[in-house]
Structure 1
């Protein structure tokens, strides 16, 4: 299975690692997230490609069942905590903080 490239900003990796440090490894998904972060390419916010979905980006996407929606990718403290996992296809990045010069959000 081909895994997609992961690109993170230095800001996002720092915040995600801080979040992981507060969680027990028995929490579902913690080890997987650690593995994914370990293989990520890290760039400064100013050098993030415009086609990368970063934290606090708003995207238009299509679910596996064909339904289209628009959401913002947020940290857990800002989420609705529904916990639903889905496979999605990103159709458009409507807003990316780094593209707009918001490097320290």
Structure 2
């Protein structure tokens, strides 16, 4: 991953921590991704929802991503797992890409390990961020 400081909203952290708490009874293999997400939260700084910069990916942000390996562009909305539906462009924050982009900023190139090596994507544009639109509790 990038070494830049991640930024999370207090509201997003609260919702993700609730998700993590609810997953404590899952089998270990199903918790792996969630444990990685918990580590990500521990690496970042937490700010009030009203103070998050408008270029940061938060939950319910709609973003345009460019896969730098295949030069493929995709638009996704980052959501909690219960709202995920990739066919509708709703990407779970617990997915590898979801975890990779949460807390990063527009223009950042994000890297994460996959079985075939390292994957790289660029957060090209934040098309909608709830906090920037004044929607603080989506």
1:52 maps to: 56
1:65 maps to: 70
Alignment gaps of 5+ in structure 1: none
Number of residue pairs matched? 105
- TM-score of the two chains, using structure 1 as the length reference: 0.87
Q: Which has the higher strand share?
A: 2
Runs of 4+ residues deviating >3 angstroms: 81-87
Q: Structure 2: how far apart are the matches of 1:4 and 1:16?
A: 21
CA RMSD of superposed structures (Å): 2.1
Q: Which sits farther off after the overlay, 43-52 or 74-83?
A: 74-83
Alignment gaps of 5+ in structure 2: 98-118
1:77 maps to: 82
Match of 2:47 among 18, 43, 49: 43
Q: Which has the higher helix share?
A: 2
Deviations 1:3-44 (A, max 9, x none): 232111110000000000011371222222111111210111
Shift of 1:2: 4.4
Shift of 1:101: 0.3
- TM-score of the two chains, using structure 2 as the length reference: 0.68
